Amino acid sequence: QLQLQESGPGLVKPSETLSLTCTVSGGSISSSSYYWGWIRQPPGKGLEWIGSIYYSGSTYYNPSLKSRVTISVDTSKNQFSLKLSSVTAADTAVYYCARREYSSSWYLPGWFDPWGQGTLVTVSS
């Protein structure tokens, strides 16, 4: 059974860079049938897609965050990572990693399943 686990600092100072890693177990991150993504949820608010990466390294970012986001993949470690620069209090959120399945009906990235348990990152001095 595929499992995803986020890891990284729970506290980041304003203007610094948030760095998280998602470790995939129970399956290979190099499968051509999947993308891998990051989604966040500010406390008490809704979900926001941050970006996705394909095992080949192709990346896709939310236009509203694109200037600050970098997602990378390390197939040798079965991990993918998120970096978000110049953070502010507005970036405080639970950050989830998830597998994004490729729709064989539409030949496009589709739904997110499964999800990691999430990790709370607080931006504060």
Q: Which residues bind other proteins (CB under 8 A)?
A: 37, 39, 46-49, 51-52, 60-63, 96, 100-101, 103, 105-106, 108-118
Between 1 and 125, CB nearer to other proteins: 1
Provide the minimum distance between the beta carbon of 94 and other proteins in the complex, in angstroms, as a whole number: 9
What's the rounded Cα separation, in Å, for the pair 105 and 27? Answer: 23
Between 6 and 91, CB nearer to other proteins: 6
What's the rounded Cα separation, in Å, for the pair 83 and 123? Answer: 14
Provide the minimum distance between the beta carbon of 125 and other proteins in the complex, in angstroms, as a whole number: 27
From residue 75, how far is each of 54, 81, 94, 102, 116 by CA, in Å? 11, 11, 25, 18, 18
